[in-house]
Chain A
Amino acid sequence: MLTVPTTCPFCACGCGFYLLANKGELVGVAPSETHPVSRGRLCARGWGAHEAPLWGTRLREPLVKRNGRLEPVSWAEALDHVTGRIKGLIEAGKSVGVLGSPRATNEENYLAGKLARAGLETNDVDFSYHSICRPLLAGLEEVTGEYGCSISLDDIELSETIVLIEGDLAKTHPRAAFSVMKAVEKGARLAAIGYARTQMARLSSLYLQTVPGGEGEVINGLLAGVLHASLEDRTSATAHCEGYEALRRDLTAVKATKEMHRAAEWIARAERATFLIPPTSAQGDQLRKDAAAFVTLAAITGHLGRPGSGLLMLLGRSNVRGACDMGVAPDRLPGYQPFYDGRAQQRLQGLWGKKLPSAQGLDAESLLQSVSGLIVLADDPPSVLPMRQQALAAMERMEYIVVLDAFVTPTVRAAHVALPIASFAETEGTLTSMEGRVQRVRAITDPPGEARTGWQVLAELCARFEVSASYSSATDVLREIAQAAPRYAGIGQQMLEEGWGGTLDEDFDTGKRVLHAAGVTAQTSPERPHLLAWDGVFDWGRDPLISFSPTLSRDYQSQRKLFPHGFVEMCPQDADELGMRPGWQVKLTSLRGAAVVPIQVRTDLTPGVLLVPYAFREHVAKVLGVERLTAVKAERA
């Protein structure tokens, strides 16, 4: 029996455990008491992590599409095909983009970025999930100039007050939910802002009920609660913050409810308070403002930069942080430096020996619409991007798509060439958790069939595009990353070899804060009294084992089978008012269009809110249009 310590590839909490293998085959997961994040406690996904590589539908050999069918070829043939066709596109003056992935390691993402900027000479590089979390990071950056986090999960446990923007933390980030639970058990006050009486809301001391997209309004109410009662930390608010007077002005008219006043008091009086925010279903710009206001709330109450107090962005995939740090973004270089930052450019040009492209690139959504060729590293735009059909159609139109993935995804099916790479259980590399921990994944078995490790394939591609990329191990790549992204220089090799990983330095103590209130948008109207939104829990949500499909799936296939027409969820009162039972068809009409879908009844939902699971968003695509949430009229079909 082989036992290898590794890092969980699912959410961004960054738990660790041992993978077990027997006779070259994965057989299980064993918890580790010494891992600093999980300490022996894993969620269902962690316990089943070995099932993804074992039972997922794997890519086993290089495939090239001929006559509409993906057919096996040799690696040499596949790589020649890729090099020839991509170079052909570039010579013809057509653009080629690159997608990295929060499922891939830092090393893979770094090389994907290097391939794009140094090899293809473009800034058209991004990852699909970025479109969901970018506004969140932007909001934080707007206030603090930083985009990381200022606390660890353990700090949550010691908090006196926790403010949580609730999607469904228990399902999306069980490890973080555990910290919240432990804090509540010890007597902490939890204020949960959300639109469903979820498990965390039930554990809360105060459930601030709102609707999807209404989070900003509550945050403003909390800000008003602080300011109206003069609860702000004067020193922080005046000495370290810009925009304090403007903020006061903006919020004079805002009324805080009694509950908001109470929560404001808890926040202000707490020695240690933590603020947790996931990507919500608010529109991009709205989400950015909500996030900025949320950070502002932490800043004016003195909780930013205070040890044990602060903010955590709840990122949905294991390596979102790493993909950003590696510069898998159209406007950022490794280290998350702006692409126009002279020093960062110089550093990279020295390192890569190539001049960097000067024009800002396109984000994942726009990139799909405009490039002729695409190199995809373990990303899956149709599953991740809000506009599934548009992504599929865009890929359909594209002249050439190359996908490197361990699993057969919809993107692989649409590809012209598919290159099989190792899953997390078969490769070496690092992942960066939302806490900023850089931790290793390690190979315990060989990749299946002809599959190779992702960093090797990307290095080979780099070389074919005249970019120096001679690495003898993933660690070599990490060494180069330390030069490209200075923050990673602190991740000592020794730490990676002997401990469970290193932690990035975050600098929240000194930065200047720029304060912001949230914007508020009115949504419903008498003609369209219901609000339709995606479930804040992206992917599958309901069953922890079927989240993050297709890379971890026990039953998601059968779920699709059970609900071939998808569904929207509504509360029992709404169902009664419409005279409907579970499974009956509801007609939803917005300003954009209409759709008919079955309903499911969900007792914890706020009246007036209709939720559609992310995976079923295509069934209401006509109603939502380009929006993420919209007012609708609901009637029995």
Chain B
Amino acid sequence: MNDVFLPHVARIVEVWDDTPDTKTFTLSLRDSKDFRFLPGQFLEVSVFGYGEAPFCIASSPTRPDTLQATVRRTGQLTDALHELGNGDEVGIRGPFGNGFDVEGARGKDLLFVGGGIGLPPLRSFIWNVLYERDHFGKVTILYGARTPTDLVYKDELKAWAKRSDVEFHVTVDRAEPGWTGNVGMVPVLFEKTALRPDSTLAYVCGPPIMIKFVVQDLFVRGFKDEAVISTLERMMQCGIGKCNHCAIGHRYVCRDGPVFNYKQIRELVE
């Protein structure tokens, strides 16, 4: 028997603004240090007095001493979280979910396609890959957001763009003054890069509508169902497959997911 609902207390050690409504919080466990996780797994973050909400871990598992979560203001709990700063405490439970299969990706070419606030889980994986760069093939990162303001991790995007061991492209739906880069939805970036569907695993995260278009495009370009991997977003409350909020058929996104390939997604019974 476990105290499955008992959170660990964590301290906020750093906060930065990503966009006007999005912040990234760096958390450090206050009482215990051993916290192993996989990219793609998520945390239930308690803002004391407001309850819990799920956030995917945005930092790399190769740096397990701190955890990062990127949070957009969408409701009471995230409003309250945004009011917190260095030294403030939150609760965390987890890690939950299956996470990305990092081992299975070794030796493969990797294509990361992110949209808006969907980049954080990919970022965890991307940094994991970059820390162990030699173990993976070609790495391509495509990222899009509504406007330049809505891009998260702006400094890191610049760093990725400069790296020679990563192919990186970014686009926005609507340009703003000073933007000289690509304009258009994420799939326009497929024109900028040579895809090798047979040797590549594609990881797609973002808003449902963006995922839909990107995935369609990938299949047209010859990707197999098993090679297209995404995370499903559901209202996850308990993280352990008991509260039933995130059920799809008899699968639970919090436990059987949130990472699924398209073969698995097609088998889900809504």
Contacts and interface: CB of A to CB of B under 8 A. Distances in A.
Interface of A: 557-558, 561-562
A557 B76 CA distance: 7
Interface in B67-123: 74-76
A390 B76 CA distance: 28
Nearest to B74: A561
Nearest to B79: A561
Q: Is the interface of A mostly helix, strand, loop or mixed?
A: helix
A558 B76 CA distance: 7
Nearest to B76: A557
Contacts of B74: 558, 561-562
Contacts of A558: 74-76
A36 to B, nearest CB: 35
Contacts of A562: 74
A471 to B, nearest CB: 39
Given A558-B74, A558-B76, A561-B75, 6 more contacts: A557-B75, A557-B76, A558-B75, A561-B74, A561-B76, A562-B74
Contacts of A561: 74-76
9 contacts: A557-B75, A557-B76, A558-B74, A558-B75, A558-B76, A561-B74, A561-B75, A561-B76, A562-B74
Nearest to A555: B75
Contacts of B75: 557-558, 561
Contacts of B76: 557-558, 561
B135 to A, nearest CB: 43
- Give the size range of B's interface with the partner: under 10
Nearest to A557: B76
Contacts of A557: 75-76
Interface in B46-86: 74-76
Interface in B139-165: none
B25 to A, nearest CB: 20
B57 to A, nearest CB: 24
B73 to A, nearest CB: 8
A561 B79 CA distance: 10
Nearest to A559: B75
Interface of B: 74-76
A561 to B, nearest CB: 5
A562 B75 CA distance: 8
A399 B76 CA distance: 34
Nearest to A561: B75
A67 B240 CA distance: 50
A446 to B, nearest CB: 23
A601 to B, nearest CB: 16
A557 B74 CA distance: 11
A561 B77 CA distance: 12
A557 B75 CA distance: 8
Nearest to B78: A561
Q: Which of A557, A558, A562 has the most CB of B within 10 A?
A: A558
A562 B74 CA distance: 7
Q: Which of A557, A561, A562 has the most CB of B within 10 A?
A: A561
Nearest to B75: A558
B266 to A, nearest CB: 27
A562 B76 CA distance: 11
A562 B72 CA distance: 13
A561 B74 CA distance: 7
A76 B75 CA distance: 39
A12 B195 CA distance: 64
B117 to A, nearest CB: 16
Nearest to A558: B75
A333 to B, nearest CB: 45
B50 to A, nearest CB: 11
B134 to A, nearest CB: 46
A558 B75 CA distance: 5
A58 to B, nearest CB: 15
A516 B100 CA distance: 72
A23 B74 CA distance: 36
8 closest A-B pairs by CB: A558-B75, A561-B75, A557-B76, A558-B76, A561-B74, A557-B75, A558-B74, A561-B76
A581 to B, nearest CB: 12
A477 B52 CA distance: 46
B103 to A, nearest CB: 39
A614 B74 CA distance: 23
A562 B79 CA distance: 13
A561 B21 CA distance: 13
Nearest to B73: A561
A529 to B, nearest CB: 32
B116 to A, nearest CB: 15
B220 to A, nearest CB: 25
A476 B74 CA distance: 50
B2 to A, nearest CB: 25
A557 B73 CA distance: 13
A98 B74 CA distance: 39
B210 to A, nearest CB: 16
A299 B74 CA distance: 53
A558 B78 CA distance: 11
A561 B76 CA distance: 9
A558 B77 CA distance: 10
A558 B53 CA distance: 14
A524 to B, nearest CB: 35
A545 to B, nearest CB: 15
A192 B76 CA distance: 39
A561 B75 CA distance: 6
A557 to B, nearest CB: 6
A561 B73 CA distance: 9
Nearest to B77: A558
A557 B80 CA distance: 13
A337 B76 CA distance: 47
A314 B164 CA distance: 71
A136 B75 CA distance: 38
B14 to A, nearest CB: 26
A113 B130 CA distance: 74
B201 to A, nearest CB: 34
A558 B74 CA distance: 8
B49 to A, nearest CB: 12
A374 to B, nearest CB: 31
A252 B26 CA distance: 78
A563 to B, nearest CB: 12
A559 to B, nearest CB: 10
